Chains A and B, each alone.
Chain A
Amino acid sequence: MFARIVTRSLRVRPSSIITLRGYATKRFTKDHEWISVSDGIGTFGISDYAQKALGDVVFIELPAVGNTYAKKDNISAVESVKAASDIYAPVSGEVVAVNTELADEPSLINSSPEENAWIAKIKLSNPEELESLLDEAAYAKHIDE
C-alpha cells in the first residue's frame, strides 16, 4: 500500500506541484520579492536580502484591497529614511488582503521580512506565472552573483 502511494506521487509532473491543493510554495522574483502560494492565494513580501539592503524601514505604502495588478506592476513602496523603493507585483491578480500591521509597525519588515511582514495577499489570475519565478535555491544563487 505504501509503495503504491510513493510510486503515484513520483509520477506527478513537477510543475503541477505548484498548484497542488494545500501545498504552499515559496518563490522569489529577481527584484527580491517573495511569494508563497496556497489554494490559489499568493502571500508576498520582500526578501531578507532586500530588507538588509534597504536598512531601517520607516514607511510602507500598502495596495488597496480589491485592486487588480498585472505581474510587475508597481504595487507598493517601502521607504527607509533615505529613499523609497518601489515594489512590483510578483504575479497578476486581485489584492484580497493587506497587512495593516505594517502601517503601525513598518520595522517589522526588517525584523521578519519573510514571515510576519507579508505585505498583501493576491488571488492569482494566472498561476503559470509562478513557474518563471525563482525557487529558493535559484534565488540564493541570484543574490550571490
Chain B
Amino acid sequence: MLAALRTRTPTRALATAAGAAAHSRTALYDFHVAHGGKMVEFAGWDMPVQYAGLGVLASHEWTRKKASLFDVSHMLQTSWVGKDRIKFIESLVVADVEALPVASSTLSVFTNDAGGIIDDTVINKRTAESLYVVSNAGCAEKDLKHIRSRLADFQNKGGDVDVKVIDDMSLVALQGPKAVDIISDLAGSTNGLKDFKFMSGRELSLKGIPVYISRLGYTGEDGFEISVPHSEAVNLSNLILENSDAKLAGLAVRDSLRLEASLCLYGHDLDETVTPVEGGLTWTIGQRRRAEGGFPGSEKILSQIGKGAKVPRRRIGLIVEGAPAREHVEILNPADGSVIGAITSGCPSPVLKKNIAMGYVPSGFHKAGTALEVKVRGKVQKATVVKMPFVEHAYYRG
C-alpha cells in the first residue's frame, strides 16, 4: 500500500533548495511550521494540510463544536474602485451588485462566453466607493488575466474603474460556534456582535490590530474571514489561539467541512463547462440580471431558467452505501447499469458517519429520493439522492 508514500526531506529544505522555483509562502508559514503544521503544496503555495497532534476527525469535530483557525491567505483578494466599478463587475459576474447594500456580501460566479463558470467568488460592497472581492487561489492567475483583459477594453471605452490586487493583507478564517465569542472579546464588543450578520463585512480593531472582517466562510458554521496586514498576521493568530476554544486547522479538514455543507469546490464541483444553473447556483443570478443579461454566456445561462427551460444535467447530493465514493467515481442508472454521470466530490462524513458525495446526473435523475448506483473499485454500491446541505448550516442571521 501507500506506493506513493516516501519518506521525504522537509518541505522547507526543498523550497529553499529549489530557489527560484520555490512555492509562495504566506506570512504565517514559519508560524505553521512552529505549530507542527504538515506543509504541502497547494495552488503554488506551501500550506498546512493538518497539524501534529490533531487528526482530521478531531479537527473537524472541533470546528463544529468550538472554533478552528485557518490560514487562507493564498486566496486572491482584490479591490475594485472607480465610478464605473459596479457596471464593470456586472459585465463579468451574474450578481446584482447594484442592489447589494453597502457592507453586504454575496456569493457569485465569473462566467465565460459559453456560459460556464470561470471561478466562484464572494463580492463585498465594502464602502460606497469600493468593492472587496475574494476568489480562489487555484484560479488567481486565470481570474486576473480575464479581469485585466476585460478591464483594458472597458477602460479604452472610457470606463472609470481600476482593479488592484490586495497584496499587503493576509487572510485568516475563524470558523465554528465559538468564533463569535472569540472575536467579540478581541473587538471589545459590548453586544456580542449581535448586529453583525452573516454575509456582511466591517472594519474592526482587534486588540488594536485594524482588520476588515466578514461574517462568512466555507465550512457551513458561523464564523469570520479576517483580512489583516501581513505584519500583524502572526500577532492576530496568537491572540485568537490564546482562547482555549480556538485551535489551528489545515486544508484537509476544510474539504470535509465544506462538503458536509455542500459547498462547491471549484475545479471539482464547478468548472468552465458547468453553467451556474447546472451547478445549482441559479440563486446567485439576480432578478434584474435575469431580465437584462449583460454577463458572459448570458444567452446560454438564461435559456436554462424559466418555463420550459432545459437543463441537461444537475448537481446532486448522494448518500452512498459501502466504501466512500470519491471524485471521478461513475454514477449508474440502476435500471440498466449504464453510466449516467460522475461524482465530483465525496468523502466519509465525520458528522453523519455516512458517505456523502456530490456529482452530476442528467435532469430526471436529480430528485431527492432517487435511487442510483455508483461503482467503487469495480463494485456496484447503492446511492440515494438527498437534499443538500448534508449537515445544516449554522449561519448567524440575527
Chain A residues within 8 Å of B, Cβ to Cβ: 31-33, 46, 50, 53-56, 58-59, 61, 77-88, 110, 143-145
Which of A33, A58, A83, A143 has most B Cβ within 10 Å? A58
**Complex interface: chain B residues within 8 A of A80 (CB):** 56
Given A61-B323, A61-B377, A144-B7: A55 in contact with B1 (beta carbons within 8 A): no
CA distance A81 to B63 in the complex (A): 15
Q: Are B326 and A84 in contact (CB under 8 A)?
A: yes
CA distance A61 to B376 in the complex (A): 11
Q: Are B255 and A82 in contact (CB under 8 A)?
A: yes
Complex: chain A residue closest to B259, CB-CB = A81
CA distance A58 to B349 in the complex (A): 9
Given A58-B348, A82-B56: A46 in contact with B1 (beta carbons within 8 A): yes
Complex: chain A residue closest to B322, CB-CB = A61
Given A58-B57, A143-B7: A81 in contact with B323 (beta carbons within 8 A): no
10 A-B contact pairs sorted by A residue (CB < 8 Å): A31-B3, A32-B5, A55-B55, A58-B350, A59-B355, A79-B324, A81-B348, A82-B255, A84-B326, A88-B1
**Which 7 residue pairs of A and B lie closest in terms of their CB atoms, listed nearest first?**
A56-B57, A87-B1, A58-B348, A56-B55, A81-B56, A85-B1, A81-B256
CA distance A138 to B112 in the complex (A): 56
CA distance A77 to B325 in the complex (A): 13
Other 16 A-B pairs with CB < 8 A, given A46-B1, A81-B347, A84-B324: A33-B1, A53-B2, A55-B55, A56-B56, A56-B58, A58-B57, A58-B324, A59-B348, A81-B56, A81-B57, A81-B253, A81-B256, A82-B56, A82-B256, A86-B3, A110-B55
**Complex interface: chain A residues within 8 A of B56 (CB):** 55-56, 80-82
Complex: chain B residue closest to A32, CB-CB = B2
- B349-391 interface bits toward A, Cβ cutoff 8 Å, 1 = contact, 0 = none: 0100001000000000000000000000100000000000000
Chain B residues within 8 Å of A, Cβ to Cβ: 1-3, 5, 7, 50, 55-58, 60, 252-253, 255-256, 323-324, 326, 347-348, 350, 355, 377
Which of B253, B324, B350 has most A Cβ within 10 Å? B324
Complex: chain A residue closest to B251, CB-CB = A82
Complex: chain A residue closest to B379, CB-CB = A61
CA distance A57 to B361 in the complex (A): 30
Q: Are B252 and A82 in contact (CB under 8 A)?
A: yes
Complex: chain B residue closest to A145, CB-CB = B7
Given A55-B55, A84-B324: A50 in contact with B1 (beta carbons within 8 A): yes
CA distance A83 to B1 in the complex (A): 12
**Complex interface: chain A residues within 8 A of B55 (CB):** 55-56, 110
**Complex interface: chain A residues within 8 A of B256 (CB):** 81-82
CB distance from B37 to the nearest CB of A (A): 14
Partner of A55 from B50, B347, B350, B377 at Cβ < 8 Å: B50
Which of B58, B326, B348 has most A Cβ within 10 Å? B348
CA distance A54 to B2 in the complex (A): 9
CB distance from B266 to the nearest CB of A (A): 18
Q: Are A81 and B1 in contact (CB under 8 A)?
A: no
Partner of B5 from A53, A77, A79, A84 at Cβ < 8 Å: A53
**Complex interface: chain A residues within 8 A of B1 (CB):** 31-33, 46, 50, 78, 85-88
Q: Are B348 and A79 in contact (CB under 8 A)?
A: yes
CB distance from A35 to the nearest CB of B (A): 13
**Complex interface: chain A residues within 8 A of B323 (CB):** 59, 61, 77, 79, 84
CA distance A32 to B4 in the complex (A): 11
CA distance A50 to B50 in the complex (A): 17
**Complex interface: chain B residues within 8 A of A46 (CB):** 1
CA distance A53 to B347 in the complex (A): 18
Q: Are A81 and B2 in contact (CB under 8 A)?
A: no
Complex: chain B residue closest to A78, CB-CB = B1
Q: Are A81 and B3 in contact (CB under 8 A)?
A: no
CB distance from B256 to the nearest CB of A (A): 5
**Complex interface: chain A residues within 8 A of B348 (CB):** 58-59, 79, 81
Complex: chain A residue closest to B378, CB-CB = A74
CA distance A123 to B93 in the complex (A): 63
CA distance A84 to B253 in the complex (A): 16
CA distance A80 to B57 in the complex (A): 9
CB distance from A18 to the nearest CB of B (A): 23
Q: Are B2 and A50 in contact (CB under 8 A)?
A: yes
Given A77-B323, A80-B56, A82-B252: A50 in contact with B5 (beta carbons within 8 A): yes
Complex: chain B residue closest to A82, CB-CB = B252
CA distance A83 to B55 in the complex (A): 14
**Complex interface: chain A residues within 8 A of B50 (CB):** 55
CA distance A31 to B1 in the complex (A): 5
**Complex interface: chain B residues within 8 A of A50 (CB):** 1-2, 5
**Complex interface: chain B residues within 8 A of A86 (CB):** 1, 3
CB distance from A90 to the nearest CB of B (A): 10
CA distance A65 to B165 in the complex (A): 60
**Complex interface: chain A residues within 8 A of B5 (CB):** 32, 50, 53
